[in-house]
Amino acid sequence: MARQIAARLKSVMSRHEFSAETRAVLERNVVALQAIAADAESFEAEQEEAEKAERSVEDKLKGRVGIYVFTYPQYLRYPTHPSDEFEKMPDRTLLKVGFTDNGILERVNQETSGTGVPEHRRILRAYLQTRSNSHPNRDLEQQFHDLLDAAGHAGPKRGSTERKRGGNEWFSTSIEFLDCIAQTLALEIVEVLPDNEL
């Protein structure tokens, strides 16, 4: 993504006239983006850590019913609603909150495979149904989404005409808030990528 943006900036700079100050800013941005794109070692290390975290919980998630949460590294690095120094709330960012009744890892892999995916996704949490949980399967997902909507954590497509075309399970929220919902609904919380690695 950084490589593509740098190329576009260079293209725009070659086709348009800018003031010296603006051109200097754009050139600094191109250099920074190229450095990010060249940092393959850090990307590979991040990827390896995420895959190791998934493998560590693979058996626990196999064939289990529940809610899953994943996102992309870009959203983790750049929150949609960063908290400021006066807030006691965690950063909020775009997180996909979905449901499966047949294997969480399999479902996430199915959703995120394909050529249109810009980065390798990061699975952050699984919220599993327990014996003490009496919610019917599909109602569980609806309750999760209703609580997120009521708290004002709706994502960009919820409530719009775009909703029918996908994207309605993305929320601008935090893992801390999702963990609270899971506790309220008496779900087992499985940390796939722990808080200290987010």
| H-state helical runs in 62-132 | 73-77, 104-112
In this structure, the chain runs to a length of: 198
Structure-token match 């260079």, residue found? 10
Q: How many CB atoms lie within 10 A of CB 181?
A: 21
The phi, psi pair for 174, rounded to 5°, reads -130, 155
Q: 181 with 133: CB under 8 angstroms?
A: no
| Assessment of whether the complete model's pTM goes beyond 0.85 | no
Q: Is the pLDDT of residue 174 over 90?
A: yes
Distance CA 144, CA 164 (A): 19
Percent of the chain having pLDDT more than 90? 31
Note the pLDDT of residue 88: 72
Note the pLDDT of residue 4: 75
Q: 62 with 100: CB under 8 angstroms?
A: no
Residue 21 forms beta bridges with which residues? none
Residue range 50-66: mean pLDDT, rounded: 82
- Which tens digit of pLDDT belongs to each residue from 182-196? 999 989 999 987 665
Report which of 108, 5, 16, 24 is spatially closest to residue 64, judged by C-alpha positions. 108
Residue range 168-189: mean pLDDT, rounded: 93
Q: What is the DSSP letter of 115?
A: T
Q: Is the pLDDT of residue 33 over 70?
A: yes
Mean pLDDT of the chain: 82
Q: Where are the domains of the chain?
A: 2-38, 58-197
Q: Is the pLDDT of residue 80 over 50?
A: yes
What does the block give as tokens for 111?
A: 């959703």
Q: Give exposure, 44-82, as e/b (b: 16+ Cβ within 10 Å).
A: eebeeebeebbeebeeebeebebbbbbbbbebbeeeebe
Q: 67 with 143: CB under 8 angstroms?
A: no
Q: Is the pLDDT of residue 164 over 50?
A: no
